[in-house]
Every structure is written in C-alpha cells, then in structure tokens.
Amino acid sequence: MKVYDNLSNLEKHESKTTFIGGVRSNLDEDQDSEAVHVSKIEEIWKKCDEDSKTMEMLEKCGGNPLALRTLGEKFISINVETLTEFQKVVMKKILPSLKPSYDILPPHFKNCFAYCSIFPQQYEINVKTLIHLWIAQGLIYPLPGQRMEDVGYEYFKNLHQRSLFEQVDVDPENDSVRKCKMPNLIQDLAVFVAGTRLATLKEHEKHSIDQGTQHVSFHFHVHSSWKIPTSFLQAKRIQTIILPCQFQKETEGRVSHSTCENIISNCKALRTLDLHNTGIDTLPKNIGKLNYLRYLDLSQNKAITSLPDSITKIPYLMILKLSKCYGLKVLPKNMKKLVHLKHLEIDWCYSLTRMPLGLGELTLLETLSQFALKYDDADSAKLDELKELNKLRGELKVQNLTSDMNSGVANVEGKEHLKSLTLAWKFKENANTAPTGDLKTLDDELALFGYRSYKFPRWLISHKKLVKFSLQKCKCNNLPPLSELSSLKVMILDEMANLKYISDESECHSSSSTTFMPSLEELRLTELPKLKGWWADVSKTPTPLPSFPCLSKLLIEDCPELRTMPLYPNLKEWLVLDNTSLETFIQTMDDEMPSRSLSKAQSMPVHSDMEISSEDGENDKTKLERAKTMCSESSSNSTVSDAKHLTCRPFSKLESLRILGGKEVSSEDGHQHHEIKWERLESLRVLRFDYLQL
C-alpha cells in the first residue's frame, strides 16, 4: 500500500471519489433502484478503507484520476479472491479499458508514451533525461526553427495533462517539472501497448527476448556475474539498452570488458546505450562501429581514465554523459569530429585538466558543464574556442584562468542562454588587474573562484538581472555597490582574507522604512576574518540602518570583526551566527519599528562565539534555570553555541531551543534585571542542552 498510504487524507478522499464516480457510471439504472445504488456505493466506499484487495487496486492507480475512473467502471464485474487473480483481471479487463486513452493520442505521442515502458514501476523519471531518450530514438518532430528539447517538453506536458504522468519535483524558478512518475496502472498500460517491442529483464528469471524486440530494460543491478542470454544476442533490432536500477554497489564487481564488447558487436542498431555505474575501466574500441548511436551514458564509472579515440567515429552521437567519472583525465583528441554532439555532461570530472583542441568547432553544443584550460599543452583547447559556442545553456565553469585574462571575459560573451557562469583562477597566479569586457548576456548566476585582483571589475553592477552571485577565495579589498543588483536573490562571500567592507560607498536612506537589496533571500558570509562592516565610511553609515525586506536565510560564520550590516527582521527559515559578534543580531532585535520585528522567523539556528556564565552567588540550579532562558522573540528554532554575554529577550514565538557548550549567561538588559517567567515561552516545544558546564 506504499503509494496509497503516502497520499494525504484529502488525496485519498479525492481518489475514492473519482473511483466511486467510475463505479456509479457503470451501475444498471434500469435493474436497480436508487436505494440499491446508494447501498452498493456505501459498501464499495467502505471497502476502499478496509478490504485489502480493493486497497491494492487503488494502490495500482496511485491517485491517478484516469486510472481510478477506469477501475471504477470495471469494479462491479471484478470478483477476485487473490491478488494474483487481480493481476489477471488487470490484463484482461482494466488495461483494455484504459487503452482508448492511448488510442486517441496523436502518433508521435503514442510512441513517446509507449517508450516509457522501459522504466520500472514507481521509478522517478528525470524529465530532461526522458526527453533526451526520446530524441535519441527519433521520436521528436520539431518544426523549422524549433529546438528539439523544447518540443520534447511540450510533448511531456501534453501527456502530463492527460494524467499519464504525475509530477514529483518542480523547478521553483519556472514551474517546469523536473521529475515525474507513472502510476502503476498507467505503467502497466505502457508495457501493454509496447508489446514485444519491450523486453524487461529481471534478476533470477529466465529471459527469452523476441527477435523483434527494440528496447531492453534491466530491472536489476547488472554486475560481473551476469551472463548475456542467447536470445539477447539473436535479437538484431535492439535500439535501446538501459539500466534504470544500476545503483551504487561496490561489492558487486564490475561488468567485464568482454560483456560490453559482445553487446556492442551484436547490437549494431543501438541508438541508446546505457553503461552508467557498471564499474568498467575501459570502453571497447568497437564502440565506433555503432553508426546509429545517439545517446551514450558512461557516467559514474570512476575507474575510467580515458576514452578510445574510436568513439569520435560515431557519426550521429548527440548526448555523451560522463558525469562523476572521477578518474577521467582526458577527452579523445578528435572530439571535433562529433559534429552532431549537443550535450557533453562532464560534471564532477575532477581529474579532467584540459579540453581537446578543436572543441570550439562543435557549434551545436548546448551542454558543456566545465572547460578546463592547460596553457602549456599544444593539444589543449584555449579559451578563445569558447567564443563560437553560442548555443551553450545552463551552467559553465571555466577553470585554471591565469593572470593574462583581459580577453577572457570577451570569450564568454554572447551566450544568451547561459544561466550560470563560474570563472576559476589558478591559485598560484598573482594578477593585479581586473579582466575587461562585459557579460551583459548573462542573466542568472555568476561565481568567481580564486579571483586574484585587489580591485573588482565595475561591469558587475550592470547586470541588473543577476539572481545569484558568489565570490570564493578572492583577494578583493572591496566590492562594487552590490546593492544596485536589484534582482539578486542569493549572495555568497567566502574565504576572502582581505575583505574589510562589502561596500566602499554609502547608500542614502531617508527613513527607517527604506528597504535594502529588495530581492535578496539568502546571504552567506563565511571565513571573512577582516570584515568589519557593510560600509567602509562609518560616518556615512545610513541612520537608521536599512533592512533586508525578503531575507529568509542568513549564515554568518567566522567573521569575528563584523559590527554593522543591514538589519534582517524578516527571517523565515534559518539564522546561523558562528564565531561572530552578536551586535547585528541585537541591533535587529532592538529596532523599534514593528515591521522590523523578527516575528516572521520560523527556524533560526543561532550559533555564536559566546560564553555562558552566571551572576555571582548563583548555585548550579539557578545557573541551569538562567541558561534555559536563552532565546529570541523572533525565532522558532534557535541554537546557541559557546554563548558569551547574551542579553536575554522574551521569546514568545520560540518553538525549539538548544544550548551548546555554554558557560556564562547574564540576564541583563541595560541596567535592569529581568525576572524569568517561563509562562511567556508559550510556543516552546523542544528544549535541549548539550555540553553545559555547570
């Protein structure tokens, strides 16, 4: 009952209502009276909660309205005693009744739906991967000027709207579906309509593959002991080999080289070959003979150090997945021959130190997650090869930049679909000049890693649409006025030993209601040992201090000198203060404007470099009682680590309180002493003490 049990009470009620609607539509109105109908409906409704067979039927539907209504329409005629019999009923009655929903699909949708039979039941399908698989099989038909991936997503949306998919994960930025599932009955329907085109292989079962089979799916973890069935080698029309159940199992051993070689030799019609996480350390050289191959997944094979150059002889290869091939050091020298390559996934290939010469000739490339530079290698691609790759989208990380980078920025201009750009400098370089150029086409994310100039390029503030900005291990003394980035949602400043102030300019504010960086939702300030405040000129610090209106997450860690920054009254998710002054925290709490109270915060873990102590003459019991009052009116989940002289405040909204390693707690507010009244902590649910030294 896993799927059905995971539904909320409302979803269960809606499932039963839809199911009963199908039952009602199939009752014989001529034979039975309305009272009989009501009695039957009530009996069936009760079965939905109490009868194991009925619950199993609802489980098969997984909340899907199309499956539920179809099941309801056939329910009266179903009479089974065992779940095995129910499976037979599904095949004989339910699936034929669901098939009209498939029959009315346009032909191109039919093929895409039937192809989904390759996935096991309740498998979380990555929508991007699904579309790439459809493309590899030639199932997407774009019009002139249309991008295949965009058309593929429109296909998916259409099938989703017909209740053939259910969403699991949605991108909060644009509401696009990232992961989905097929309800069990709908998955059964896909297998039903695929017929002998699909062969599903299961462990410890005898496998007989029809000679007309086109798609083979392994519903178990393939390892070294697996032997290729004879019928597999006789099926010459196989276009897909996919391993949806290939999980991380180090003890299973790697698939042998000879097994891979035999598969490639006997499956000449392959369009999709999935060998991810099989443990292989080399790819057979005969891979170049797969003339129809469009999709090759070698990801998570960490023992692979190189690929045979024969891979560049595959004429129509479009998608090459190498992510998490941790040992991969080089790409094939003749990569430029793969002129149809659109997606080269090399995320987390940490050993990859250079790109092959001529990579810039692959002008159809849309996915290139990293570009590693090696200037002392004549066979390595140089930065200027990026200039022509204007179809790149998603994320790009340029690694090993050197001091002579004035032309560097220019080579990543013009890429209007690029969402995230990371520029990483070599740590040994000592650049003192900022790169020139402008990245006006970059819309979303920019990260600079190891940037060695003491001055920051002024072109940054021209990016009014920038959503995320990260600086890590950079030499900058100061930054441009980041407050001008009005669309910025996430800002991360990390490991910058020289940074003293975030802004060397003063933002003028006329009233305490003035907001600051209006879109910022998350701020992380970590390992900034010299950071003293937000504004360099203390005399021009805005009075009263402005506040972040939308800030929901704040992390300040290892910033011991920080004393002033904009207030953060509207935290909703978390606050972490670790090895930093509490002055900004107190300033925010002390602000008298009602709109700046911290009452909106729902979860604020507070870690701060303080000692917990007690007043003279207090006994251990009193010290413990006083320690229990460490709280903040605004937070609902707070953690105080190594607290030192924290002035107590009544925390009427506090839900969870945790004190770590405390030695000293005072209960003073100015010169007034506050009597502790536990009844004020009316929202407290969790009280925890760790490492108290009493």
Same domain? 162 vs 248: no
Report which residue type is found at 451: Y
Same domain? 176 vs 237: no
d(CA 358, CA 373) in angstroms, rounded, equals: 13
- Both tokens of 167, joined, read 């969403």
Convert the pLDDT of each residue in 227-249 to its tens digit.
Answer: 888 888 889 999 999 999 987 66
Last residue of a domain, one of 43, 73, 103: 103
Same domain? 158 vs 257: no
Same domain? 87 vs 64: yes
Q: Is 154 helix (H, G, I), strand (E, B) or coil?
A: helix
* In the predicted structure, residue 138 carries a pLDDT above the cut 60: yes
Same domain? 172 vs 51: no
Convert the pLDDT of each residue in 566-603 to its tens digit.
Answer: 988 777 777 777 777 778 877 776 664 444 444 444 44
d(CA 560, CA 572) in angstroms, rounded, equals: 25
Q: What is the mean pLDDT of residues 205-214?
A: 86
CATH of the domain at 253: 3.80.10.10
DSSP conformation letters of 567-603: B-TT--SEEEEEEE-SHHHHHHHH---GGG-STT-S-
Please report the sign of the dihedral spanned by the C-alpha atoms of residue 180, residue 185, residue 191, residue 194.
negative
- Whether the CB-CB separation of 132 and 115 falls below 8 Å is answered with no
Q: Is 189 helix (H, G, I), strand (E, B) or coil?
A: helix
Residue 429 domain-assigned (yes or no): no
d(CA 436, CA 447) in angstroms, rounded, equals: 16
Residue 632 domain-assigned (yes or no): yes
| Mean per-residue pLDDT over the chain, rounded | 75
Last residue of a domain, one of 314, 332, 352: 352
- Both tokens of 529, joined, read 């040992």
* In the predicted structure, residue 641 carries a pLDDT above the cut 90: no
As for how many domains the chain has, the answer is 4
* In the predicted structure, residue 407 carries a pLDDT above the cut 80: no
Residue 190 domain-assigned (yes or no): no
Residue 23 domain-assigned (yes or no): yes
More confident site: 587 or 89: 587
The per-residue pLDDT for 359 is: 94
The per-residue pLDDT for 423 is: 86
Same domain? 29 vs 66: yes
- CA-CA distances (angstroms) from residue 563 to 348, 401, 460, 504, 509? 38, 35, 26, 16, 19
- Whether the CB-CB separation of 112 and 134 falls below 8 Å is answered with yes
Report which residue type is found at 513: S
Specify which of 52-61, 103-112, 428-437 reaches the highest per-range mean pLDDT: 103-112
Same domain? 116 vs 94: no
d(CA 446, CA 440) in angstroms, rounded, equals: 12
The per-residue pLDDT for 567 is: 86
* In the predicted structure, residue 441 carries a pLDDT above the cut 70: no
Residue 248 domain-assigned (yes or no): yes
Whole-prediction pTM: 0.76
Residue 498 domain-assigned (yes or no): no
pLDDT grade for 613, boundaries at 50, 70 and 90 = very low
Residue 192 domain-assigned (yes or no): no
Convert the pLDDT of each residue in 123-136 to its tens digit.
Answer: 999 999 999 999 99
Last residue of a domain, one of 352, 367, 384: 352
Same domain? 647 vs 631: yes
Same domain? 251 vs 265: yes
Same domain? 311 vs 217: yes
Question: Where is average pLDDT lowest: 126-135, 158-167, 528-537, 579-588?
Answer: 579-588
Residue 389 domain-assigned (yes or no): no
pLDDT grade for 476, boundaries at 50, 70 and 90 = confident
- Both tokens of 51, joined, read 């009868």
Same domain? 88 vs 212: no
d(CA 440, CA 416) in angstroms, rounded, equals: 9
Residue 683's domain spans which residues?
A: 620-690
Convert the pLDDT of each residue in 505-517 to its tens digit.
Answer: 655 443 344 568 8
| Residue whose pair of structure tokens reads 């991008």 in the numeric block | 147
Same domain? 209 vs 337: yes
